[in-house]
Amino acid sequence: MTHNSVEEGLARARELIRPHRRFVILEHEKPDGDCVGSSLAMALALDKWGKQALIVSDDPHPVIYDFLPGQEHFTRTGYLDLADFDADVAIFLDCGEPERCGRALPFAQKAKYWMNIDHHVSNTKFGDAVLVDPSAAATGEILWSMFRELELEIDVGIATCLYVAVLTDTGSFRYENTTPRVLRMAAHLIEKGARPQEISELVYEAKPLSSVMLLGEALKTLEIHDGGRIACVSVTREMMRKVAATSEDTEGIITYPRSIQGVVVAVQFREADEGVHVSFRTRRAVDASRIAEMFGGGGHPRAAGALIKGKTLPEVRTLVLEELHKFLERDSDPVIKA
């Protein structure tokens, strides 16, 4: 994002926030830590400015984030009557395009203005105030800059939400998006009261038993392809039923195939209601978002996904492995090809 567009986006955001009172916050489907932390921080900030803030999501928040403040602002689409709904401004968080908020979109369409705050490189720059910065590690990082520009006093609640946003989207400050700015932000949030040890324990070490049981089932399906460059796992409905897993229990499974020495692309196939969801995690110079785009999806350079409809999981696996093999031969650097 150029300096100009930062200033322009911020100026527009200021213009939209100041005179308006009723805000609706939209998250993407299956909200993750960045999404949940960002939307709660945004709602708490609007609260401090004396505004009404409602987060509307089609999916629930993963239970591991229940400890975060601001949940009283959260509601699900099924609990709201669209006919009676009204808002001045809709704020899309972490959504590359409006459709990413799924069945919550009609609620945004009732708002007069749209604000688009996101860090996806594929963001379509929709809306009336556009704060899109692909160099930000998390949407929460953009909010942190915005709050400081708007001279918001960051309290312990907002600090905790933003810390979760940046902690989860940087893989606990391990991924290549862990910049000096990210660590400065984390330091500032800790000064404002965020507690790193407690937060890490709540996010990473308070998992439901079913999620660890599901990991066990998924790892039994581990396959290695392409001379060790590709590792994949599958999660079927039958496995989920066997261990009474919820959809959020699939979170993090893909980090295991990705952690194997020599693997440059990890893939997870998951049977979903609407088709087979495929997740990609990559290493080195392999662009995961380009891989996901081949299947109609998108995402970030090292983490992306796509939903493939009308095929069974084994059919999707065959198709994706074939295309991935060709992709690695065609597009990756000589080190990866070797």
Residues that bind Mn ion (CB under 5 A): 34, 94, 139, 169
Cβ pair 190, 199 in contact under 8 A: no
8-state DSSP, 84: G
Helix (H) / strand (E) containing 307:
strand 303-308
Pairing of strands 230-235, 87-93: unpaired
Site string for ligand 5GP, 233-272 (x = CB under 6 A): ----------------------------------------
Give CA–CA dist 188/191, Å, rounded: 5
Binder of residue 118, out of ligand 5GP, Mn ion, none (CB less than 5 to 8 A by kind): none
Q: Compute the least distance from the CB of residue 113 to ligand 5GP, in Å.
A: 24
What part of residues 296-315 is at the interface with ligand 5GP (CB under 6 A)? 297-300, 303-307
| Segment contacting ligand 5GP by CB under 6 A, of 3-11, 73-81, 191-199, 291-299 | 291-299
What part of residues 103-142 is at the interface with ligand 5GP (CB under 6 A)? 120
Residue type, 66: D
Name the token pair of 104.
């919550």
Q: Compute the least distance from the CB of residue 32 to ligand 5GP, in Å.
A: 6
Cβ pair 109, 101 in contact under 8 A: no
| Minimum CB distance to ligand 5GP smaller for 307 or for 321 | 307
| Minimum CB distance to Mn ion smaller for 46 or for 136 | 136
Q: Compute the least distance from the CB of residue 70 to ligand 5GP, in Å.
A: 22
What sign for the dihedral angle of Cα 288, 289, 292, 298? positive
Determine the residue with CB nearest ligand 5GP.
305
Give CA–CA dist 63/49, Å, rounded: 28
Terminal CA-to-CA distance of the chain, rounded, Å?
35
| Minimum CB distance to ligand 5GP smaller for 186 or for 304 | 304
Determine the residue with CB nearest Mn ion.
34
| Minimum CB distance to ligand 5GP smaller for 47 or for 97 | 97
| Segment contacting ligand 5GP by CB under 6 A, of 160-168, 196-204, 215-223, 292-300 | 292-300
- Helix H, strand E, coil C: the string for 49-66 is CCCEEEEEECCCCCHHHC
Name the token pair of 37.
């932390």
Sheet with 298-299, side-by-side order of all strands: 223-225, 230-235, 265-272, 275-282, 303-308, 298-299
Binder of residue 298, out of Mn ion, ligand 5GP, none (CB less than 5 to 8 A by kind): ligand 5GP
Give CA–CA dist 84/206, Å, rounded: 39
Q: Compute the least distance from the CB of residue 120 to ligand 5GP, in Å.
A: 6
By CB under 6 A, the count of residues binding ligand 5GP is 11
| Minimum CB distance to ligand 5GP smaller for 37 or for 298 | 298
| Minimum CB distance to ligand 5GP smaller for 142 or for 303 | 303
| Minimum CB distance to ligand 5GP smaller for 217 or for 248 | 248
For 325, list phi and psi in degrees, rounded to 5.
Answer: -60, -50
Binding site for ligand 5GP (CB under 6 A): 120, 279, 297-300, 303-307
